[in-house]
Amino acid sequence: VLTTVALSFEESQIASYLSIVPVCTFVSAFEIGPGPLPWAAAGESIPSQYKAGAQGLTVATNWFCAFIIGLIFPPMQENLDQYVFLPFAVICVLAVLYISSAMVETKGKTIEEVQEEYSNKTGCL
């Protein structure tokens, strides 16, 4: 959102350069926050005999999604101009809501305990 605001000042070259700061801040915060979450969640909630396949699926999904974002970003930027980051901001908010409601805390728990919590959350046995 801050990048969108900075890019809205088209006549200001300083604002254009300052628009890089929120992007770098987001990337840094993502890499120490939710970025590694797929690897951690797969490693801490799946039984040992399935970890290799689950980690492989996690990595493939992550890279596929990054590839898709790389493909759709240029056309989005052409159509949305400086507002191109707003759909991504909405997706980030939705992801935070999903993670906070659907994920379980795994710290200090066995895989069986984590799976039990997921079963209780989804109503499955």
* Distance separating alpha carbons of residues 100 and 113, to the nearest angstrom: 18
Taking 90 as the threshold, does the pLDDT of residue 71 lie above it?
A: yes
Residue with tokens 């396949």: 53
* Distance separating alpha carbons of residues 82 and 79, to the nearest angstrom: 9
DSSP notation for 72-86: HHHHHHHHHGGGGHH
Query: What pLDDT digit, counting tens, does each position of 13-53 carry?
Result: 888 888 899 989 988 988 888 788 877 777 778 888 888 88
* Distance separating alpha carbons of residues 69 and 63, to the nearest angstrom: 10
Distance set, CA 59 to CA 40, 45, 78 (Å): 12, 16, 30
Would you state the pLDDT for residue 122? 67
Q: Which of 100, 116, 122 is nearest to 45 (CA)?
A: 116
Contact 43, 55 (CB under 8 A): yes
Could you tell me the pTM of the whole model?
A: 0.71
Average per-residue pLDDT for the chain? 86
Q: Where do the H-state alpha helices sit in 1-125?
A: 2-8, 13-18, 20-32, 37-45, 51-80, 85-102, 111-122
Query: What pLDDT digit, counting tens, does each position of 1-21 carry?
Result: 888 888 888 888 888 888 899
Between residues 19 and 71, the one the model is more confident about: 71
